[in-house]
Amino acid sequence: EQQAALVNALPYVDRGFDEAGVREAALGMVEEEMRRYRPTKNYLEHLPPLNLHQFETDILRAEFERLSSRQPPEHMSMKRYELPAPPTGRLTDVQSWRDSVDNSRAQLEHQSVRIENLQLLLAHGSDAWRCHNDTLVRMVAETERRLQATRKAVKEVNLQRKTEQVQAGERLHTLEDTWVHLVMKNYELEREIADLETAVSKAEAERPLPQTEKSTEPEAAQVETAEAAEASDDNDELPPTPPARQSPVPTPPPASEEPADD
């Protein structure tokens, strides 16, 4: 399944490309990425291996080998177009004369075929050429029709893309303006809050603390310490207290012993 490509470039909407240096910077980034790009995926792996020798024949293969070895080409033999007589030393050889006669007959037949081809060309060549031209005209017309259809499709795609980008661009510009307004508003609020916090801290540092707000616990401790010190001083100034006199406790008389009754 093919996934939709995410296009993050809006050439019909993006702004700022007309500024100096922006286009050069973009082209420089593209060139830098192209220099660093190294394809890691084989996009033809789903296809069978390419057979480079599929259409080679023995003649082509021999010619390729000759070119690889940098050898000069062989000149075409023109003996079949000549009518040589038997060599001087073989004028009395019957086989040599037969070979010469056979060559003459082959040359004569070849000339006869050429004459027939010329006669056919004179008789039907013009009509065949006109048919060929008509075929070419139809091919050109069909190609032009396909070209116009392709151009129309491309134009419709570009128009649709421009319409979608313009509509999206208006919303993007509105959102961008709203974002800028909110960012500036937040910045102003943060600045005002910082100023207020600075003013509050400064006012608290400059304002003296009232007496009623001081803690009473240290004062109570000081009062108790002072009273204890005064009491100690008073005790030092008074004369020592004499010990209290103890009254004698009367000792009861011993009990008289009575005689026991008999």
Question: What DSSP letter does each residue of 177-203 carry, written as one string?
Answer: HHHHHHHHHHHHHHHHHHHHHHHHHHH
Question: Percent of the chain at pLDDT above 70?
Answer: 76
Whether the predicted pLDDT of 248 surpasses 50: no
**pLDDT tier for residue 45 given thresholds of 50, 70 and 90:** confident
Higher pLDDT, 182 or 41: 182
Assigned token pair, 117: 């081809």
Whether the predicted pLDDT of 33 surpasses 60: yes
* Burial category of 127 from C-beta neighbours within 10 Å (exposed 0-12, middle 13-18, buried 19 and up): exposed
**pTM as predicted:** 0.41
Q: What is the pLDDT of residue 229?
A: 60
CA distance 15 to 156: 24
Q: What angle do CA 40, 27, 150 make, to 5 degrees?
A: 75
Do the beta carbons of residue 165 and residue 10 sit within 8 Å? yes
Cβ neighbours, 10 Å, residue 161 = 14
Q: What is the pLDDT of residue 3?
A: 55
Q: What is the pLDDT of residue 247?
A: 45
Do the beta carbons of residue 85 and residue 99 sit within 8 Å? no
Whether the predicted pLDDT of 204 surpasses 90: no
Would you give the DSSP letter of residue 14? -
Whether the predicted pLDDT of 124 surpasses 50: yes
Whether the predicted pLDDT of 214 surpasses 60: no
Assigned token pair, 92: 């009395």
One-letter amino acid for residue 210 of the chain: P
Whether the predicted pLDDT of 259 surpasses 50: no
CA distance 106 to 114: 12
User: Mean per-residue pLDDT for 19-28?
Assistant: 85
How many CA atoms lie within 13 Å of 202's alpha carbon, on the beta-carbon side?
A: 6
Question: Percent of the chain at pLDDT above 90?
Answer: 37
Q: What is the pLDDT of residue 219?
A: 55
Compute the CA torsion angle 137, 139, 144, 147 (nearest 10 deg): -170
Q: What is the pLDDT of residue 245?
A: 47
CA distance 241 to 221: 31
CA distance 58 to 66: 12
Task: Quote the radius of gyration of the chain (alpha carbons, Å).
Answer: 63
Higher pLDDT, 115 or 85: 115
**pLDDT tier for residue 51 given thresholds of 50, 70 and 90:** confident
Whether the predicted pLDDT of 242 surpasses 70: no
Q: What is the pLDDT of residue 224?
A: 62
Whether the predicted pLDDT of 135 surpasses 90: yes
> What's the mean per-residue pLDDT of the chain?
80
**pLDDT tier for residue 5 given thresholds of 50, 70 and 90:** low
> 82, 77, 78, 76: which is closest to 107 by C-alpha?
82
